[in-house]
């Protein structure tokens, strides 16, 4: 299963690292500082709980999104995992769509938190009352609306509900605006939007 997951992640464009047990997983996490950790619960040399506790106790990786993937799907097991600080809990066999939806959601949320931290550090005071100023960046009205909500830390799923469009359409608008702005992440998009909404720049 681990090999299959690694192959699926690679095909999806991720750069995964595999670990055969908890001890190796902790070593890799501390060395590579991944964007997200997908971890089984029952493992030799350190189970999932031990891995999670080790991650959360290390300041360098403490905020890394952490998803448990396990065959133990009873409510008490799920609650135990969440109480330990896991961000999500998937039961095996998790479907491909469910797996990547969970990964995308957690990465989006992590990007949003990182962007908000930078906003606070830079002292931006953005005006979120209208998306119109964002059109000055060369965006369509709809792309500007999507970016307005991205800048407020909303996930694709949230934006699809707010704007009444399919999540796939939100993703398409994001892809287009990323290309127009010459950026590659939600974090970068948020900072560009906040510069405009905060009145610190024009169309750069």
Separation of alpha carbons 25 and 51, rounded Å: 7
Nearest one of 5, 31, 27 to 16, comparing CA atoms: 5
Mind listing the pLDDT tens digit for each residue in 100-133? Answer: 888 888 887 777 777 666 666 666 677 888 999 9
Nearest one of 18, 27, 71 to 81, comparing CA atoms: 71
Q: Give residue 202's pLDDT.
A: 39
Residues 160-166 have a mean pLDDT of: 90
Q: Both tokens of residue 28? A: 């890799």
Query: What CA–CA distances, in Å, run from 159 to 150, 151, 162, 168?
Result: 8, 11, 5, 11
DSSP state of 44: S
**pTM to 2 decimal places:** 0.59
Q: Do domains 2-94 and 110-197 have the same CATH topology?
A: yes
Mind listing the pLDDT tens digit for each residue in 31-44? Answer: 999 999 999 888 88
Q: Give the residue, 201 or 130, on which the prediction is more confident.
A: 130
DSSP state of 119: H
Give Cβ neighbours of residue 57 (< 8 Å, ≥ 6 apart).
none
| CATH code for residues 2-94 | 3.40.50.2300
Q: Can you give the residue ranges of every domain in the chain?
A: 2-94, 110-197
Q: Both tokens of residue 45? A: 């040399």
Separation of alpha carbons 60 and 168, rounded Å: 34
At residue 147, the 3 state secondary structure works out as: helix
Give Cβ neighbours of residue 69 (< 8 Å, ≥ 6 apart).
38, 39, 40, 41, 90, 91, 92, 94, 99
Please state which architecture CATH assigns to domain 110-197.
Answer: 3-Layer(aba) Sandwich (3.40)
**Residue 161: how many CB atoms within 10 A of its CB?**
13
Q: Both tokens of residue 191? A: 């900072």
Q: Give residue 122's pLDDT.
A: 66
DSSP state of 94: P
Nearest one of 79, 34, 26, 77 to 54, comparing CA atoms: 26
Separation of alpha carbons 119 and 139, rounded Å: 22
């Amino acid at each position: 299963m681990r090999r299959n997951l690694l192959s699926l992640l690679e095909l999806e464009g991720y750069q995964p690292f595999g670990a055969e047990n908890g001890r190796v997983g902790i070593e890799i996490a501390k060395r590579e500082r991944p964007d997200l950790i997908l971890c089984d619960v029952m493992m030799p040399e350190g189970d999932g709980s031990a891995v999670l506790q080790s991650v959360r106790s290390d300041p360098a990786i403490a905020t890394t999104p952490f998803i448990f993937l396990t065959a133990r799907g009873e409510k008490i097991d799920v609650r135990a995992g969440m109480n330990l600080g896991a961000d999500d809990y998937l039961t095996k066999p998790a479907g491909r769509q469910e797996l990547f939806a969970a990964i995308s959601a957690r990465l989006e949320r992590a990007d949003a938190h990182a962007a908000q931290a930078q906003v606070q550090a830079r002292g931006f005071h953005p005006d979120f009352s209208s998306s119109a100023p964002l059109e000055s960046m060369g965006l369509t009205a709809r792309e500007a609306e999507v970016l307005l909500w991205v800048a407020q830390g909303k996930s694709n799923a949230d934006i699809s509900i707010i704007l009444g469009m399919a999540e796939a359409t939100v993703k398409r608008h994001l892809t287009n605006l990323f290309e127009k702005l010459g950026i590659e992440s939600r974090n970068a998009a948020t900072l560009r939007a906040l510069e405009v909404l905060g009145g610190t720049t024009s169309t750069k």
